C-alpha cells in the first residue's frame, strides 16, 4: 500500500425517530410483527397519496443544524426502479433540491470531513430471501415486511475527504454521536437505524486526480465499515499495480469471507428517471421553524468533549480515552455535576469512566449529587480508593443511596492521623533492615511499608497518607 | 332514450327530503333501467345492487327519523371504475386489477355517501383512463346510448353513457386531458373539470397526477354545481388539495351574463367540424343577446398543448403504473424470478394503449432525453399558463368546442392513435393550465348526435364559469324548444 492513498466518501442512511412514517400515519417502530404497521399509503395501493410528516422535517432540520448545513427550501422527486420491497416501484426522495446543503463534521482526531447534503427520503420494506445463500438470486422464495416501508430516512452524503479505513470508522462513529445528540435517531446500526455505504477509490500519493470508485453497500457495523474499506482499498491497489483497471461497480461486503464481492455491474446500471413528485408540494420551512429545530439540538459531542477536557489542566492520553468513554456512555453530565459540587475532576472522570461503566443502566440513573458526594469524600482522603470503589459498587447495586451512610455501614473510615502515625512507627520498628534500605534510597520499598500498614489497619489507612508519613519520617 | 326523462338529482333529493319519494324506490328504478338496457350499452363494469339497496334503506331511515340525509339524498350515482370503493371491485378497466377490492373509499366517494348519494355501480373506461372512446377497456367497449354503433367518448365513457341513458342523474369521471368533458359532450350531458386541487384525488387511481381531476357528469348544470359543492373542498389526505372551504356555485347559477366579457377562443373552434363550429357560434350569439360582450380571442400557445400533454401524461403514467408488478395485488403471472414475474404480469395485464404510453413516458424521462422531452413539455406548460393569463386580462371566460367532432363510429380510430389523440385537442389546455372548464350540451351535429360547448375560466373561478354555463344551457333549451326539467 505504500505510495498509495485511499479516498473514501460515505453515504449514511439514518432512520428518524418519528412517531409515524414519512408519508402516512402508520407507527414507525422496529421489531413489530411483520406487516402490521401498514396502510394504503405505505403499501402503495392504487389511489393512495403521500402527505409529508412534519416531525420528520423537524428532525431533518435538526441534523442539518448539527452539521452546520444550510437548511433550504426543497422538493421531492420520484426515483423509479422495480424492486418488490418498494410498493410503488418508485422511491420518494429529495434529488436536486435537498433540505440540507453543505456543512461538515469535525472528528475527535482534529480532522474535518465536508458534508455535501443531508436529504429526506422514504425507506423501503425489508426482504428476507429464504433458502440458499440468503441472496435474491437462487432463493427458494422471498418474504417482504412492509413495516419499514415509508419510514423516514435522512441520507447524509460526505465529501470524499476521508483518507483511511480508520478515519472512515471515526467519521461514522462521530456522526452516530451527533445523530443521537440531535434526538433524530437512536443510531443503532444493529437494528438498521443507521446504515453506511462507502465509496472507495485509491490513487498514487500526491495525485490530485480521483481514481475509479466502487460503492460498498449496506455496511451494518463500524467494524465492518473499517474492514470493508481496508479490504477494498487493498484490492484496488493490487489491481492497479498489476496494470489492471478498477471497474466502477457496486459491491457487497461478505462478513464471513472478509471480502467485497461485485453485486451488479455497470451494464445493469439503473436509469432512475428522476422527476418531480407531482403528489407533493415544495417544502419551505419558515425561518422561525428552522430556528426552533436548531435550538432543539442537544449538546454535540465536540462541545461535550471540550467541556470535559476543560475541567482538566492538561489531559493525558488515558484521560482522552476516558473522555471518549464518558461521552459514548452519556456519563459526562454526571462528571460535570460532581466537579461543580467540589469533586476533583480527574478523580470524578476516572471513577465514572472505569467503575460506573460496568453497570450502565444503573449508572445512567445515578443521582449526580450522590456521585459527587462520594468523589468528594475520596478526594478529601476520607475514603481510600478501594473503599470508594466498594461504596460505588453498592450504590450501583442498590440503585443509589447516601455514600456517607454506605461507608459507615461497611465500617469504612479513614484512621485518625495520630493512630496512623502509631501504626507506621510500629511497622518501621518491626522491619529495621528494610527501613534503613528505604532511607538509603531504595524507593521501591515504599510499597512494602504501605502494604504492611494496610495489613495492620485492615485496609482502613489511606495510601496517600501512609506515603506522606513515610516521607516525613525519612526526613 | 326509450325511457321517460328521469328526475334531476336536485329534484330527486328534494323529493326524498320532503318525504315524497324514498331512496329505495329511486334506487330500484335506477337498477331496473340498468337491467333493461345495459346489456347493450355496457356502461357498467359492476352493478352493486345489494349494497345500493342497503345504502338507500339507510337514507330512508334517516329521512323517516326526521334527520336531513343530505343534499344528494337518495340520488343514485355511477362511479368511474378508477375511483376506489371499499369492498367493491375497482379495476380501472384493466385485467391487471381484476379482482382487486380496495380496503378504502376515495374521498369523493366518502363525501357523496355523506351527502346521501347512493352508489349503484362502477362504470367502464378506457384502461387506466387512457383513451377517448372507452374502446380501450380491458372488458369490452361501452356503446353510445343514442346510437349503439357509435362510441360514447372517453375515457369516462361509462359514466357519461350511464347518465345519458337515464340510469342515474349523476356520474363521476376523472379528467386528465378531457376525459370528463369529451364523453359528456359526445353523450349530450354536462361534464365539469374543476380547478386542479379543488377536488381531492385521494382514492382516484392515478393516471397523470399533475393533470388528474375528478368531476361530475350530469344531465343539467344545476346538478353539476350541487355535486361539485359536495365533492369539492380541502382534503388533508391530498397534499395538492387546495386550502379553504368547498366552492360555492349554486347561488351563481341565476346571475346571468350581463356585462361579462366572453372570448370565443379561435383555437377551440378552428379545426373542429363545421357543424360543431356552428353550434359554438350560436352559443356565443346567445351569450351576446343575454348581455355579454363577445369578442374573438386567440391563445396560439394552445396549439402546443397536445404535444406537451403527450409527453407529460405518459411520463407520469409510466411511474404511476409501475406498481402493478404482480407482487401484492391484482394479476400475477408467475415466472422463474422476480423480474420475470414483473414482465410476464405486465405483458399479460396491460392493453396495447397502456403499454404504448408506458413506453412513451419511460423514454421521455430517460437520462439524456429528459430535458428535450419532459423538461421542455413542462416549459410549454408554463408558456400556456402565461398565455391564458393574457387572454383573461381581456375577457372573463373563454368559450369553444369541447370536442372537434360528434360521437364517431366504434372502431373508427382504434388503429390510428394520433387521430384518437386529436379528440382531446380542445380539452387538454385546461388540464395543462390547471384551470376549470365545463362542457354544456348545445344542439346537435348534422348526424343528429349531441354537440358540447365548452366554457373555460381562470383558476378557482368555477362560480363565473357556472354562471355562463347556465345561460348557455338555457339558450340550448330555447333553441330546441324543449323546456326540459332539471333546474331547480
pLDDT-above-70 percentage for chain A: 96
Grid coordinates belonging to B146: 343514442
- Within this chain, do residues A262 and A141 fall inside the same structural domain, yes or no? yes
pLDDT confidence of residue A137:
63
Task: Give the distance, in angstroms, between the CA of residue A413 and the centroid of all CA atoms in the same chain.
Answer: 40
Calculate mean pLDDT across residues A389-418. 82
**Least Cα separation, residue B181 to chain A (angstroms):** 22
- Beta strand residue intervals within B194-235, DSSP E: 213-218
Contacts of A268 (CB under 8 A, 6+ apart): none
Cα–Cα distance, B174 to B154 (Å, whole number):
10
Q: Give the structural domain span for A311.
A: 301-409
CA–CA distance, A436 with A459 (Å, rounded to integer) = 25
B250-256 contacts at long range (C-beta below 8 A, 24 or more positions apart): B250/B222, B250/B225, B250/B226, B252/B463, B252/B464, B252/B466, B252/B467, B253/B221, B253/B222, B253/B225, B253/B466, B253/B467, B253/B470, B253/B487, B254/B470, B255/B467, B256/B290, B256/B291, B256/B467, B256/B471
Inter-chain touch A84–B92, beta carbons under 8 Å? no
Asked if A114 contacts A81 with a C-beta cutoff of 8 angstroms, the reply is no
- Rounded to an integer, what distance in angstroms lies between the CA atom of residue B306 and that of residue B432? 9
Q: Which of A44, A51, A84 has the CB atom closest to B237's CB atom?
A: A51
Which one of the listed residues B30, B80, B156, B318 is annotated catalytic? Answer: B80
Instruction: Write out pLDDT tens, residues B160-177.
Output: 999 999 999 999 999 999
Question: Rg of the Cα trace of chain A?
Answer: 29
Tell me if A459 sits within 8 A of A388, measured CB to CB: no
Whether residues A283 and A312 fall in one domain: no
Distance from CA of B212 to the nearest CA of A (A): 11
| Cβ-based contacts of B234 with chain A (< 8 Å) | none
Query: In terms of DSSP bridges, do strands B44-47 and B118-123 run parallel, antiparallel, or are they unpaired?
Result: antiparallel
How far is the C-alpha of B436 from the C-alpha of B194, rounded, in Å?
4
Q: List chain B residues with CB under 8 Å of A88.
A: 322-323
Asked which of A295, A326, A356 is the last residue of a domain, the reply is A295
**Span A325-340, average pLDDT:** 89
Cβ-based neighbour number of residue A442 at 10 Å: 12
Asked if residue A359 and residue A279 are part of one domain, the reply reads: no
Is A80 in Cβ contact with B319 (below 8 Å)?
A: yes
Q: What is the CATH number of domain B9-266+277-298+390-480?
A: 3.90.1300.10
Catalytic residue among B179, B200, B318, B423: B179
Q: Is A375 exposed, middle or buried (0-12, 13-18, 19+ CB in 10 A)?
A: buried
pLDDT of residue B425: 96
CA B87 to chain centre: 23
User: What is the per-residue pLDDT for B363?
Assistant: 96
- Regions in chain B scoring below 50 on pLDDT: 1-3, 485-488
Whether residue A84 and residue B240 make contact (CB cut-off 8 A), yes or no, is no
- How far apart are alpha carbons A352 and A219 in whole angstroms? 32
Q: Is B132 a catalytic residue?
A: no
pLDDT band at A265 (very low <50, low <70, confident <90, very high): low
Q: Where residue A264 falls among pLDDT bands split at 50, 70, 90?
A: low
Whether residue B322 and residue A88 make contact (CB cut-off 8 A), yes or no, is yes
Task: Say which of A47, A51, A80 has its CB closest to residue B102.
Answer: A47
Contact B118, B56 (CB under 8 A): yes
Indicate whether A350 and A234 sit together in one domain. Answer: no
All structural domains of chain B with their residue ranges: 9-266+277-298+390-480, 306-378
Distance of alpha carbon B8 from alpha carbon B166, whole angstroms? 10
Question: Does the distance separating the beta carbons of A136 and B366 come in below 8 Å?
Answer: no
Residue in A closest to B206 by C-alpha: A47
Report chain A's mean pLDDT, rounded to a whole number: 91
Does A158 lie in the same domain as A274? Answer: yes
| Structural domains counted in chain A | 3
- Which residues on B lie below 8 Å from A275 (Cβ)? 315-316, 319, 365, 370, 374
C-alpha A9/C-alpha A462 separation (Å) is 54
Here the ipTM equals: 0.95
DSSP state of A202: E
What are all long-range contacts of B384-390, with beta carbons under 8 Å and residues at least 24 apart? B384/B299, B384/B301, B384/B302, B384/B304, B384/B305, B384/B308, B384/B429, B384/B432, B384/B433, B385/B432, B385/B433, B385/B434, B386/B301, B387/B299, B387/B300, B387/B301, B387/B302, B388/B299, B388/B429, B388/B433, B388/B435, B388/B458, B389/B458, B390/B299
Question: What is the Cβ-side half-sphere exposure of residue B262, based on CA atoms within 13 angstroms?
Answer: 30
Q: Is B374–A52 a contact, with Cβ atoms under 8 angstroms apart?
A: no
Round to whole Å and give the CA distance between A271 and A264.
14
Q: Which of B269, B279, B285, B281 is nearest to B443 (CA)?
A: B279
- Left, alpha or beta for B66 (phi > 0: left; psi -120 to 50: alpha)? left
Average pLDDT, chain B: 96
**Residue A313 and residue A183 share a domain:** no
Are the beta carbons of A271 and B367 separated by less than 8 Å? yes
Preceding amide of B155 cis, omega within 30? yes
Q: Are A158 and A173 part of one and the same domain?
A: yes
pLDDT in tens, B386-417: 999 999 999 999 999 999 999 999 999 988 98
Q: Output the pLDDT for position B276.
A: 98
d(CA B84, CA A275): 26
Task: Kindly report, residue by residue over B88-126, the tens digit of the pLDDT.
Answer: 999 999 999 999 999 999 999 999 999 999 999 999 999
Mutate: best of A43, A47, A57, A140, partner B, most B CBs <10 A: A47
CA A60/CA B26 separation, integer angstroms: 55
Which residues, listed in sequence order, are joined to residue A11 by a DSSP beta bridge?
A157, A197
User: Over the stretch A229-252, which tens digit does the pLDDT of each residue have?
Assistant: 999 999 999 999 999 999 999 999
Section A391-410 average pLDDT: 84
Of A49, A136, A278, nearest to B237 by CB-CB distance is A49
Mean pLDDT of A138-167: 94
Confidence (pLDDT) at A133? 58
Q: Average pLDDT for residues A105-123, to the nearest whole number?
A: 97
Instruction: Indicate whether A278 and A344 sit together in one domain.
Output: no
How far is the CA of A378 from the CAs of A348, A397, A413, A432, B357, in angstroms?
Answer: 10, 19, 11, 32, 80
Check whether residue A266 and residue A322 sit in a common domain. no
Question: Chain B residues contacting A, CB < 8 Å?
Answer: 82-84, 90, 92, 97, 100, 102-104, 106, 201-206, 208-210, 236-240, 315-316, 318-319, 322-323, 325, 327-329, 337-339, 342, 362, 365-367, 370, 374
Distance of CA A96 to the CA centre of its chain: 30
Residues of chain B found within 8 Å of residue A92, distances taken between Cβ atoms: none
Are A234 and A315 members of one domain? no
A259 lies in the same domain as A331: no
Write out pLDDT tens, residues A362-394. Answer: 777 788 888 988 998 888 878 888 888 889 888
In chain B, which residue's Cα lies nearest the Cα of A85?
B327
Could you tell me the three cell numbers for A394? 453498592
Q: Cell numbers at residue B127, please? A: 384502461
Q: What is the pLDDT of residue B486?
A: 40
Per the CB < 8 A criterion, the answer to whether B161 and B153 are in contact is: no
**A46 and B338: CB-CB below 8 Å?**
no
| pLDDT confidence of residue A136 | 59
Phi and psi of B77, rounded to 5°? -125, 150
CA A374, A377, A379: angle at the middle one, nearest 5?
110
> Is B325's CB within 8 Å of A84's CB?
yes
Are A445 and A395 within one domain?
A: no
The domain boundary, picked from A261, A277, A295, lies at A295
Amino acid at each position: 500500500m505504500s505510495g498509495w492513498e485511499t479516498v473514501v466518501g460515505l453515504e449514511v442512511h439514518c432512520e428518524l425517530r418519528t412517531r409515524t412514517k414519512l408519508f402516512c400515519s402508520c407507527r414507525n417502530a422496529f421489531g413489530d410483527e411483520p406487516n402490521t404497521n401498514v396502510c394504503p399509503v405505505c403499501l402503495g395501493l392504487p389511489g393512495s397519496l403521500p402527505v409529508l410528516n412534519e416531525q420528520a422535517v423537524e428532525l431533518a432540520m435538526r441534523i442539518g443544524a448539527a452539521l452546520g448545513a444550510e437548511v433550504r427550501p426543497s422538493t421531492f422527486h420520484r426515483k423509479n426502479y422495480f424492486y418488490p420491497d418498494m410498493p410503488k416501484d418508485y422511491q420518494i426522495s429529495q434529488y436536486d433540491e435537498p433540505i440540507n446543503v453543505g456543512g461538515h463534521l469535525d472528528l475527535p482526531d482534529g480532522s474535518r470531513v465536508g458534508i455535501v447534503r443531508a436529504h429526506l427520503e422514504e425507506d423501503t420494506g425489508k426482504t428476507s430471501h429464504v433458502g440458499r445463500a440468503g441472496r435474491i438470486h437462487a432463493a427458494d422464495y422471498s418474504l417482504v415486511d412492509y413495516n419499514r416501508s415509508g419510514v423516514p430516512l435522512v441520507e447524509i452524503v460526505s465529501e470524499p475527504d476521508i483518507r483511511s479505513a480508520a478515519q472512515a470508522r471515526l467519521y461514522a462513529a462521530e456522526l452516530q454521536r451527533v445523530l443521537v445528540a440531535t434526538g433524530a435517531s437512536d443510531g443503532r446500526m444493529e437494528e438498521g437505524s443507521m446504515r453506511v455505504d462507502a465509496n472507495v477509490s485509491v490513487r498514487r500519493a500526491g495525485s490530485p486526480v480521483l481514481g475509479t470508485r466502487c460503492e460498498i453497500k449496506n455496511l451494518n457495523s463500524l467494524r465492518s465499515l473499517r474492514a470493508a474499506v481496508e479490504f477494498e482499498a487493498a484490492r484496488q491497489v493490487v489491481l492497479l499495480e498489476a496494470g489492471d483497471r478498477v471497474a466502477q461497480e457496486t459491491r457487497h461486503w461478505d462478513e464471513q469471507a472478509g471480502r467485497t464481492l461485485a453485486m451488479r455491474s455497470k451494464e445493469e446500471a439503473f436509469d432512475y428517471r428522476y422527476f418531480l413528485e407531482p403528489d407533493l408540494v415544495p417544502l419551505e420551512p419558515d425561518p422561525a421553524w428552522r430556528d426552533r429545530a436548531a435550538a432543539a439540538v442537544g449538546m454535540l459531542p465536540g462541545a461535550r468533549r471540550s467541556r470535559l477536557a476543560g475541567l482538566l489542566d492538561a489531559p493525558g492520553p488515558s484521560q482522552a480515552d476516558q473522555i471518549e468513554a464518558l461521552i459514548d456512555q452519556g456519563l459526562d453530565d454526571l462528571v460535570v455535576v460532581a466537579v461543580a459540587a467540589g469533586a476533583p475532576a480527574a478523580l470524578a472522570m476516572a471513577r465514572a469512566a472505569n467503575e460506573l461503566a460496568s453497570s450502565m443502566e444503573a449508572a445512567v440513573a445515578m443521582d449526580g449529587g450522590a456521585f459527587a458526594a462520594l468523589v468528594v469524600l475520596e478526594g478529601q482522603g476520607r475514603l481510600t480508593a478501594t473503599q470508594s470503589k466498594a461504596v460505588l459498587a453498592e450504590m450501583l447495586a442498590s440503585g443509589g443511596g447516601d455514600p456517607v451512610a454506605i461507608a459507615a455501614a461497611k465500617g469504612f473510615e479513614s484512621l485518625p492521623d495520630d493512630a496512623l502515625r502509631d501504626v507506621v512507627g510500629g511497622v518501621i520498628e518491626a522491619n529495621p533492615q528494610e527501613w534503613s534500605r528505604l532511607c538509603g534510597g531504595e524507593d521501591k520499598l515504599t510499597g512494602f511499608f504501605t502494604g504492611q500498614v494496610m495489613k495492620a489497619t485492615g485496609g482502613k489507612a489511606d495510601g496517600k497518607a501512609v506515603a506522606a508519613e513515610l516521607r516525613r519520617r525519612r526526613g | 332514450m326509450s325511457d321517460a326523462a328521469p328526475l334531476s338529482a336536485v329534484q330527486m333529493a328534494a323529493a326524498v327530503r320532503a318525504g315524497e319519494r324514498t331512496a329505495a324506490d329511486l334506487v330500484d328504478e335506477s337498477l331496473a333501467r340498468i337491467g333493461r338496457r345495459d346489456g347493450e350499452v355496457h356502461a357498467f363494469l359492476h352493478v352493486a345492487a345489494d349494497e345500493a339497496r342497503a345504502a338507500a334503506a339507510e337514507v330512508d331511515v334517516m329521512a323517516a327519523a326526521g334527520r336531513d340525509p343530505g343534499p344528494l339524498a337518495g340520488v343514485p350515482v355511477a362511479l368511474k371504475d378508477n375511483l376506489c370503493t371499499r369492498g367493491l371491485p375497482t379495476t380501472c378497466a384493466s385485467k391487471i386489477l381484476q379482482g382487486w377490492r380496495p380496503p378504502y373509499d376515495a374521498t369523493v366517494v366518502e363525501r357523496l355517501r355523506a351527502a346521501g348519494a347512493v352508489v349503484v355501480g362502477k362504470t367502464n373506461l378506457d384502461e387506466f383512463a387512457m383513451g377517448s372512446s372507452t374502446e380501450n377497456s380491458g372488458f369490452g367497449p361501452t356503446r353510445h346510448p343514442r346510437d349503439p354503433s357509435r362510441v360514447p367518448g372517453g375515457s369516462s365513457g361509462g359514466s357519461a353513457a350511464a347518465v345519458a341513458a337515464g340510469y342515474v342523474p349523476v356520474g363521476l369521471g376523472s379528467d386528465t386531458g378531457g376525459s370528463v368533458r369529451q364523453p359528456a359532450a359526445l353523450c349530450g350531458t354536462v361534464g365539469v373539470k374543476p380547478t386542479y386541487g379543488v377536488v381531492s384525488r385521494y382514492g382516484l387511481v392515478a393516471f397523470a397526477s399533475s393533470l388528474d381531476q375528478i368531476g361530475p357528469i350530469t344531465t343539467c348544470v344545476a346538478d353539476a354545481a350541487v355535486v361539485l359543492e359536495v365533492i369539492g373542498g380541502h382534503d388533508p389526505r391530498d397534499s395538492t388539495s387546495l386550502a379553504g372551504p368547498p366552492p360555492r356555485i349554486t347561488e351563481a347559477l341565476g346571475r346571468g351574463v350581463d356585462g361579462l366579457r366572453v372570448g370565443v377562443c379561435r383555437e377551440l373552434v378552428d379545426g373542429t367540424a363545421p357543424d360543431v363550429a356552428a353550434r359554438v357560434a350560436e352559443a356565443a350569439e346567445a351569450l351576446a343577446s343575454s348581455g355579454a360582450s363577445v369578442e374573438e380571442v386567440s391563445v396560439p400557445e394552445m396549439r402546443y398543448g397536445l404535444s406537451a400533454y403527450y409527453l407529460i401524461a405518459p411520463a407520469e403514467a409510466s411511474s404511476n403504473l409501475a406498481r402493478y408488478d404482480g407482487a401484492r395485488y391484482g394479476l400475477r403471472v408467475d415466472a422463474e424470478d422476480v423480474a420475470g414475474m414483473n414482465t410476464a404480469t405486465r405483458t399479460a395485464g396491460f392493453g396495447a394503449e397502456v403499454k404504448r404510453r408506458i413506453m412513451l413516458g419511460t423514454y421521455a424521462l430517460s437520462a439524456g432525453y429528459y430535458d428535450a422531452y419532459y423538461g421542455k413539455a413542462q416549459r410549454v406548460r408554463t408558456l400556456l399558463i402565461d398565455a391564458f393569463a393574457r387572454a383573461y386580462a381581456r375577457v372573463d371566460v373563454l368559450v369553444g368546442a369541447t370536442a372537434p367532432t360528434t360521437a364517431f363510429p366504434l372502431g373508427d380510430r382504434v388503429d390510428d392513435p394520433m387521430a384518437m389523440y386529436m379528440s382531446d385537442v380542445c380539452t387538454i389546455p385546461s388540464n395543462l393550465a390547471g384551470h376549470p372548464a365545463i362542457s354544456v350540451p348545445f344542439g346537435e351535429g348534422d348526424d343528429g348526435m349531441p354537440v358540447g360547448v365548452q366554457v373555460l375560466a381562470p383558476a378557482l373561478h368555477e362560480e363565473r364559469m357556472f354562471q355562463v354555463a347556465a345561460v348557455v344551457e338555457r339558450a340550448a333549451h330555447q333553441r330546441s324548444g324543449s323546456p326540459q326539467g332539471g333546474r331547480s
